[in-house]
Amino acid sequence: MSRDLSFLLPELVLMVTAALMLAGEMIRRPRLVLGIGLVGLALATGLAWPLLKADTTVFGGTYRIGPLAVWSKLILLPATALSLLLARAELAGKFREGSVYSLMVLVSIGALMLAGSGDVMLLVLGVVLTGLGSFALVAWPADDPATEAAMKFLVFGSVAGAVMVYGLTFWFAGAGSTLLSALTGIDRAPVLAAAGLVGLLVGLGYKAALVPFHFWAPDAYEGAPVSVAAFLSVVTKVAAIFALAQALSALPVQTGWQWAVAVIAAISMTYGYLAALVQSNLVRLLAWSSVAQSGYFLLGLVAVGGGALARESLIVFAAAYAAMNIGAFAIVLIGGRDMEAIGGLGRRAPARAAAMSVFLLSLTGIPPLFGFFGKALLFGAALDAGFLWLVVVAILNSVLALGVYLRIVVALYAPAEAAQPAPQAGAAVSTVWIVTLVITLVMGVLTRLLTG
């Protein structure tokens, strides 16, 4: 028991942190809440570091301590910390701002649970835990758009969650166990395997905002505060992708899951970018772009049963995606949600406009930025798995991506119509974009450090 708990130190620290944060919120001390959150996240990240070499399970195989689970801590906890800083910049002084911080930390615990799950019960728990906090986060502004978006998010989540639980019971019937590692022989019961797979794809596809389970995403991101949109688009999405990887790696390929994932990948990329192409609201545009990026993640997922490259590609792209997406949201937070609002930002705030261009080019996948290296690894993994057509679709979509993201870059450097002052940015949000910028610029060349 004590061995198991020693592997769970990061999670335990986070739970204590979340409890302390709630207590701090009760006495209405938002700065204290933020401080506790940042310290707790840093401590948990530090405690996760020594686990990198571990590859084991705890609690009878239900919770995995392997590369995916540990890296999810090292990527998602700093991402949560950056989201907290964004939230501070956006919501400082508002009523109950501390509740946003504590909710984010609570959701991050659910995200870690998803990314490390070795059992279908943990998958369900993770979906519920991330879901409950996310609904409240989206509804936080308590105005009409936020309420409606959260309502929609909740209805969608309830339906998807119900289908997921229902589907996963078939896996239990087929495998005789709720452990994901017991799925290796389930192809002897193809109907049960397929029913469970449908449930898994619906539940986690909804969480990762994959087409056709994505409908909630643009509205939820738009209704929520920008910092919450950044948080949801990175932390819960990456957690869901990692959870899919945990579940699918043991599933026999005879069930056809690779093809289902590949088709969803192709549709998500194409539909996401096409829809992003006509948006003028930057938050909606980034929402659609994150739908497309989820599709790219799936390139690594199709190969996940095969070798280490697939896992490495998922980890590297997750790190890259977290940095560049949070960075882009940070600049949107500074510059404004509309394409017009950021027009001419290149004159008024050249450094921030340049940073935004870097984030967008990295999202496109232009070398030598971090995003390119993530995508290159994903392409390699999909090629190894024999999905050449999917790689071709992904490369063609990179052209669409250029159209999507260059529109913003063009707006950034358009001449400003009136001499507006440079938008103000506090220390919190400046920290976020500078940190993510450095990661996006430098980590690409150092990718090898991530994969050991």
Partner 1 sequence: MSAVLPTILTPILAPVAAATVIALGRRLPGPIALAGVVVALLASGMLLAAAFSGRVSPLVLPGLPEMPLRLEAGPLSAVLSALVAVIATFVLVFATGYMRADPQRNRFFATMLIFVAAMQALVLAADWITLLAAWEVIGATSYLLIGFWYRKPGVADAATRAFLYTRSADLGLYLGVFLLIGAAGSSEISATLAISGPAATLGGLLLLVAAMGKSAQLPMQDWLMRAMAGPTPVSALLHSATLVAAGAILLIRVSPMLPGQTLVVIGLVGGATTVVTGMIALAERDLKRLLAASTSSQYGLMLLAVGAGAPVVALLHLIAHAAIKSGLFLGAGVFQHQRGSTRLEDLAGVGRAHPRIFAGFALAALSLAGIPPLAGFFSKDAIIAATMSAPGAAWLLPLGLAGTVLTGAYMARAMTLLWRGPHAPAGGGNPDLVWMGSGMGALVALAAGLGAGFPAVEELLGAHVATSAVAMALGLGAALAGLALGWKVDGARLLGPLAGRAERGFAIGGGMDALVARPALALARACDRFETRLFGAVLAVGRATATIAQGTRVSDERGIDGAIFGLVRATIASGARARRLQSGLIHRELALTAIATGLIAAALFAAPLLL
**Which residues contact partner 1 (rule: CB under 8 A)?**
144-145, 148-149, 152, 155-156, 159-160, 163, 187, 190-191, 194-195, 197-198, 201-202, 211-213, 215, 218-219, 222-223, 253-257, 259-260, 263-264, 274-275, 277-278, 309, 312, 366-368, 372-373, 376-377, 379, 383, 391-392, 395-396, 398-400, 402-403, 445-449, 451
Min CB(204)–partner 1 separation in Å:
13
Min CB(215)–partner 1 separation in Å:
4
Q: How far is 54 from 291, CA to CA, in rounded Å?
A: 32
**Burial category of 414 from C-beta neighbours within 10 Å (exposed 0-12, middle 13-18, buried 19 and up):** middle
Min CB(275)–partner 1 separation in Å:
7
Answer for the pair 421, 74: CB distance below 8 angstroms, yes or no: no
Which residue's CB is nearer to partner 1, number 36 or number 353? Answer: 353
The helix/strand/coil state of 179 is: strand
Residue 315, CB-side half-sphere exposure with 13 Å CA sphere? 22
Structural tokens at position 419 = 């001499």
Name 94's Cβ contacts closer than 8 Å, sequence gap at least 6.
Answer: none
Task: Enumerate the β-bridge partners of residue 439.
Answer: none
Which residue's CB is nearer to partner 1, number 82 or number 194? Answer: 194
Answer for the pair 381, 311: CB distance below 8 angstroms, yes or no: no
Nearest to 319 by CA among 12, 46, 70, 64: 70
Structural tokens at position 247 = 């579940």
Min CB(269)–partner 1 separation in Å:
14
Helix-helix angle 282-301:370-384, to 10 degrees: 40
Which residue's CB is nearer to partner 1, number 38 or number 275? Answer: 275
Which residue's CB is nearer to partner 1, number 80 or number 447? Answer: 447
Min CB(364)–partner 1 separation in Å:
10
- Single-letter residue type at 332: V
Min CB(435)–partner 1 separation in Å:
21
Terminal alpha carbon distance of the chain: 30
Which residue's CB is nearer to partner 1, number 40 or number 365? Answer: 365
Which residue's CB is nearer to partner 1, number 82 or number 211? Answer: 211
Which residue's CB is nearer to partner 1, number 47 or number 404? Answer: 404
Burial 302-330 (b: 16+ CB within 10 A, else e): bbbbbeebbbbbbbbbbbbbbbbbbbbbb
Min CB(212)–partner 1 separation in Å:
4
Which residue's CB is nearer to partner 1, number 163 or number 342? Answer: 163
Structural tokens at position 244 = 């899919």
Task: Enumerate the β-bridge partners of residue 57.
Answer: 64
Residue 208: φ, ψ to 5°: -90, 0
Which residue's CB is nearer to partner 1, number 350 or number 426? Answer: 350
Min CB(452)–partner 1 separation in Å:
8
CA angle 385, 243, 177 (to 5 degrees): 100
Which residue's CB is nearer to partner 1, number 32 or number 376? Answer: 376
Q: How far is 218 from 271, CA to CA, in rounded Å?
A: 13
Entry field: residues in the chain: 452
Min CB(180)–partner 1 separation in Å:
18
Q: How far is CA 169 from the centre of its chain?
A: 27
Helix-then-strand count for the chain, H and E: 20, 2
Which residue's CB is nearer to partner 1, number 33 or number 411? Answer: 411
Nearest to 349 by CA among 286, 408, 413: 413
Min CB(130)–partner 1 separation in Å:
19
